[in-house]
């Protein structure tokens, strides 16, 4: 048992097995408490890059994003009429933008995949993705209407430039049932030796609050990320940031650095939880694996979740304490997240980067 796992297991008082199977994406809420256990030095040596002027961010239009969000935000469990309508929206929009669109049909569902081939390194792929399914009897505006509307608007902006690497935009199916759609794609990509340079996953990007004590953290965050907990406490535990959860790779570090550089110019607060590569498939990381980015981690691809932290901030997650509707969200905040994502992705689409 390695040093990371030993410290986490002893502190969380959970049984540790050698299984690397991911937890279900739906796990409970706990608030991080102080611990006397030795903390882990998990500082991330991010790429030091000079802040570049915003290039594509000004092209992101909140009104377009909002129009799509309002269309998507209805109950859409797999197989339902609304699920089909949102799948059709993804396919038609990407096709209209010039993507070559395919429906990736696997055993139980359908992913929508759009590709624009790169000019000089088309075999190298950068993915921008979100899941389009949700659960019964819940509109799922934040989860994950915001993510789908976000990638569609980001795709519209990114195609205004040509890119060396191929741009892939994907709408995943059956995330709510255990990351099934993205796992099917990542498994296939690994079997075919697909060169996925990086995968961005937008998972709930629309809920922000400036209220003190509005943000909780998963148990164990204080062990791996003591600086994050310190900042959380210093800012009165406010849910006013976007969370980045990459694995600790060169591509992950570059994506974070470029996202953060753009966010600084947009006045968007960012907190990063970079999961060490040796822990990325551990069940102990359950709370940090709760979206489609974990499917890519499982097959050794670099990926990052971009999230407002779900029920650790938004008590209407899965409609548990109220409807997850469009009117409850902060659309300026979501627009800033899309802008920073676009700026990061356009750099990742360069050849030989990072």
Q: Which residue has the higher pLDDT, 8 or 255?
A: 255
Nearest alpha-carbon partner for 75 in 65, 85, 66: 85
Least confident of 19-23, 130-134, 298-302: 19-23
Tell me the per-residue pLDDT of 67-125, one tens digit each, with 9 for 90 and over.
Answer: 999 999 999 999 999 999 999 999 999 999 999 999 999 999 999 999 999 999 999 99
Is residue 24, in this structure, part of any structural domain at all?
no
- pLDDT at position 114, please? 98
Tell me the per-residue pLDDT of 19-59, one tens digit each, with 9 for 90 and over.
Answer: 333 333 443 333 433 333 333 444 344 444 567 899 999 99
Asked whether the beta carbons of 144 and 130 are under 8 A apart, the reply is yes
Is residue 29, in this structure, part of any structural domain at all?
no
Is residue 324, in this structure, part of any structural domain at all?
yes
Q: How many CB atoms lie within 10 A of CB 167?
A: 25
**pLDDT at residue 3 greater than cutoff 80:** no
User: Phi and psi for 292 in degrees, rounded to 5?
Assistant: -70, -15
Asked whether the beta carbons of 353 and 124 are under 8 A apart, the reply is no
Nearest alpha-carbon partner for 216 in 317, 316, 312: 312
> Tokens 């030989």 sit at which residue?
352
The pair of structure tokens assigned to 161 is 């430039």
Domain that holds residue 45: 3-16+35-348
Measured distance CA(82)–CA(250) in Å, rounded? 39
Is residue 330, in this structure, part of any structural domain at all?
yes
Tell me the per-residue pLDDT of 208-251, one tens digit each, with 9 for 90 and over.
Answer: 999 999 999 998 898 889 999 999 999 999 999 999 999 999 99
Q: For the sheet containing 100-105, what is the strand order?
A: 100-105, 110-116, 165-172, 121-131, 195-203, 303-307, 242-246, 270-272
Which CATH number characterizes residue 253's domain?
Answer: 3.40.630.10
- pLDDT at position 50, please? 62
**pLDDT at residue 1 greater than cutoff 60:** no
CA 242, 97, 349, 281 torsion-angle sign: positive
Is residue 157, in this structure, part of any structural domain at all?
yes
For 161, residues 6+ apart whose C-beta sits below 8 A from its C-beta are: 56, 346
- Give, for 184, the enclosing helix (H) or strand (E): helix 180-191
Asked whether the beta carbons of 348 and 255 are under 8 A apart, the reply is yes
Domains in the chain, number:
1
Is residue 22, in this structure, part of any structural domain at all?
no
Is residue 259, in this structure, part of any structural domain at all?
yes
Is residue 353, in this structure, part of any structural domain at all?
no
């Amino acid at each position: 048992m390695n040093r990371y796992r030993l410290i986490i297991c002893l502190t969380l008082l959970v049984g540790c097995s050698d299984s690397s199977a991911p937890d279900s994406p739906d796990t409970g809420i706990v608030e991080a408490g102080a611990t006397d256990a030795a903390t882990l030095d998990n500082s991330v040596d991010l790429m030091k890059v000079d802040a570049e002027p915003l290039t594509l961010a000004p092209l992101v239009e909140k009104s377009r994003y909002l129009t799509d969000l309002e269309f998507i935000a209805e109950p859409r469990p797999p197989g339902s009429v609304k699920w089909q309508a949102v799948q059709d929206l993804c396919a038609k929009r990407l096709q209209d933008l010039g993507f070559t669109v395919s429906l990736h049909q696997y055993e139980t569902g359908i992913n929508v995949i759009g590709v624009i081939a790169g000019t000089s390194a088309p075999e190298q792929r950068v993915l921008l993705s979100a899941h389009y399914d949700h659960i019964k009897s819940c509109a799922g505006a934040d989860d994950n209407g915001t993510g789908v509307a976000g990638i569609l608007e980001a795709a519209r902006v990114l195609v205004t430039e040509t890119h060396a690497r191929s741009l892939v935009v994907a709408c995943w199916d059956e995330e709510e049932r255990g990351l099934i759609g993205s796992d099917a794609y990542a498994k296939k990509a690994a079997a075919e030796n697909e060169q996925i340079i990086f995968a961005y996953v937008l998972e709930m990007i629309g809920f922000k609050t400036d209220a003190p004590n509005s943000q909780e953290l998963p148990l164990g965050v204080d062990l791996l990320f003591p600086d994050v907990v310190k900042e959380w406490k210093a800012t009165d535990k406010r849910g006013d940031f976007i969370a980045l959860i990459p694995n600790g790779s060169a591509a992950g570090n570059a994506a974070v650095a470029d996202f953060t550089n753009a966010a600084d110019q947009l006045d968007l607060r960012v907190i990063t939880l970079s999961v060490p590569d040796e822990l990325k498939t551990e069940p102990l990381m359950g709370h940090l694996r709760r979206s489609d980015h974990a499917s890519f981690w499982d097959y050794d691809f670099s990926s990052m979740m971009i999230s407002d932290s779900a029920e650790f901030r938004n008590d209407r997650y899965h409609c548990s304490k109220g409807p997850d509707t469009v009117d409850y969200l902060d659309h300026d905040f979501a627009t800033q997240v899309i802008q920073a994502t676009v700026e990061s992705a356009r750099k990742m689409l360069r050849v030989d980067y990072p």
